[in-house]
Structure formats: C-alpha cells, structure tokens
Amino acid sequence: MAQISMNKQPAASSQWHHILYVLRENPVTMLAFALLGMFLLCAILGPALVPYDPLATNAARALEPPSWEHWFGTDNLGRDVFSRVVVATRLDLSISVAAVALSFVIGAMLGAVAGYWGGWLDAVLNRLLDTIMAFPLFVLAMGVVAALGNTIENIIYATALINIPFYARLVRAEVNIRRDAGFAQAAKLAGNGDLRVLALHIFPNALPPMMVQVSLNLGWAILNAAGLSFIGLGVRPPTPEWGIMVAEGANFIVSGEWWLALFPGLWLMLAVFTFNLLGDGLRDMVDPRKRS
C-alpha cells in the first residue's frame, strides 16, 4: 500500500508540473485561464459580490447612464445592469458547461464504438449524424426548444444535441486511425480486452483535439443560449441572462440608452473570447506527447 501511495504522489506532482509548464510557456493560455478564473468567481460568488439585488426595481432610478453608483447604468425598471450582468454569469456558464459535457460524453461514446468496431454501427451513426447536420444548427435548436418548451433543461438538451456530431465524428476519425496501430496491437497481445484497449490506450490520444473542440463549443453554447433568449425562446425574464439583456437593451439604443445592450454584449463577447483562447492550452495539457 505504501508503494502504491508513493507511485501516485509523483504522478500527481508530475501532472501539476506539466500544467504549470504549459501556462508559463504560453502567455495567451495564462491570460485565458485568468479570465476563466474571473468568470468562475462571478458564477460562484456573483450574488454575494454585486452591490444591488439584480431583481430589485426602482422606477425613480430608471435609465440612468453609467456612474460611480451604477457602473453599468440602470435599465428601464431601475435595476442595476452591472449586478444583473455579473449574476447572469452563473446561469449562462451552467447552461454551456452542462450542454457541452452531455454532448462530449454521448458523442465520444458513439464515435469510439463506431470507429473501433466499424461495420453497420459505423454506417448507422454516420447517417444519423448526417441527418442532424443537414439542418442549420441554430434553427434545429430553435425547433427543439419550441417543441419541448423554453425551459433551462430543454435549452441544454437542444444545445447538446446539435454539438454531438462534432465529437462523434472527431473521435470516430481518431479511433479509426489508431485501432490497428502498433501500440494498440501490443496492448491486445498483452492480454487486454477490446474495451480496455479502447478506453486506456486509444481514446486518450483523441483527447487533445477534443479539448480544442470543447473550448470552441463552450463559447458557441453560450452564444446559442443567448441567441435563443434574444428571440424569446430562451430563459424567461426577469431572470438575469445575457441574451435577454441584449434583446431588451436593443429597444433603447435608438433613444440613446446605449449601455443597456453594450455591457451585456461585451460580457458575452469576453466569455466567448476566453473559451476560444483556452483551446490550445487544454490540448497541450492533455496531450500525452507533450509530457516530459
């Protein structure tokens, strides 16, 4: 038992050293993780950090421009825009992470099985993925939410559904290339079953490109949720959500209240920008070939 514990400790230490090495060698990755930390802080502690109740209305302070008292101004009901933007981080990130995690798991399982065993499983999966991708993805998400109802759970399911083909096709290609590679054959000759070879020897080599896809899909999932809210099929008001806030603020741009749409839009843009920057760093962290 002592020997097993000693073996696990150097492995964990080596992993941390590798992560720190990737962050030091790539300043862009360090910036992306710093921004991610900021968004996670807002998501976890947002309601405790903001100066005002995001749902509290005050008609006497409606449509006030940005000031030291209200950093992002107030909306047409007198609610503090800064408080609403920060609190909305938890909901938007939760939808994005849940949807991408669901699509990652389902897509990876389908792609791995189809790529490793092939045959009729591969043919059926390809036709299914072709059917999903034949539709404009945002339109398909709209249809799913409209049919099932615009609840948070249905937004997650719709976003996950349209992301599954990205992971399934990526994993299928990676597994199909490596299933007859020398290391996979050696693992079989050592007595490992097909599932063990697939899970422990082949699939880890598919993780680096998948991490890039995960980071891109996280940003796209946030945009998808915001887009659904913008057209009235997403989260229902008065719940703070970036897409709703941009949609409500767009009605006031002509009359000069630019801050209502600008600040939620900038926060949304920064979140998508952060996830797009994360891809390279996540790939380097999980790539077995990058470890020394």
pLDDT in tens, 105-157: 999 999 999 998 888 888 999 899 989 888 888 999 999 999 998 889 999 99
Question: CB 196: neighbour CB atoms within 10 A?
Answer: 13
The phi and psi torsions of 41 (rounded to 5 degrees) equal -65, -45
CB atoms < 10 A from the CB of 228, how many? 27
CATH of 12-46+89-290, one of 1.10.10.60, 1.10.3720.10, 3.30.1330.10, 3.30.70.100: 1.10.3720.10
Tokens (6 digits) for 268: 């949304």
User: What pLDDT is attached to residue 161?
Assistant: 93
Of 207, 239, 227, nearest to 162 by C-alpha is: 227
Taking the alpha carbons at both ends of the chain, their separation in whole angstroms is 27
The string of pLDDT tens digits covering residues 20-53 is 766 677 777 788 888 999 999 999 998 898 999 9
C-alpha distances in Å from residue 88, one per residue of 18, 37, 244, 274, 276 = 34, 16, 10, 17, 20
Confidence of residue 288 (pLDDT cuts 50, 70, 90): low
Closest alpha carbon to 245 in 111, 80, 134: 80
Q: How far apart are CA 138 and CA 154, in angstroms?
A: 14
Measured CA to CA, the distance from residue 39 to residue 279 in angstroms comes to: 17
Q: Where are the domains of the chain?
A: 12-46+89-290
pLDDT of residue 285: 66
In the predicted model, what is the mean pLDDT of residues 236-264? 90
**Burial bucket for residue 246 (CB in 10 Å: 0-12, 13-18, 19+):** buried
Where is mean pLDDT largest: 35-39, 178-182, 197-201, 284-288?
35-39
- CA separation for the pair 203, 11 (Å, rounded): 20
Residues 6+ apart with CB under 8 A from 93: 39, 40, 43, 222, 271
**What is the CA angle 12-16-21, rounded to 5?**
145
Average of per-residue pLDDT across 248-261: 90
Comparing 2-6, 151-155, 183-187, which segment has the lowest mean pLDDT? 2-6
Q: What is the pLDDT of residue 287?
A: 61
Cα angle, residue 280 at apex, residues 167 and 289 outer, rounded to 5°: 85
Structure pTM?
0.84
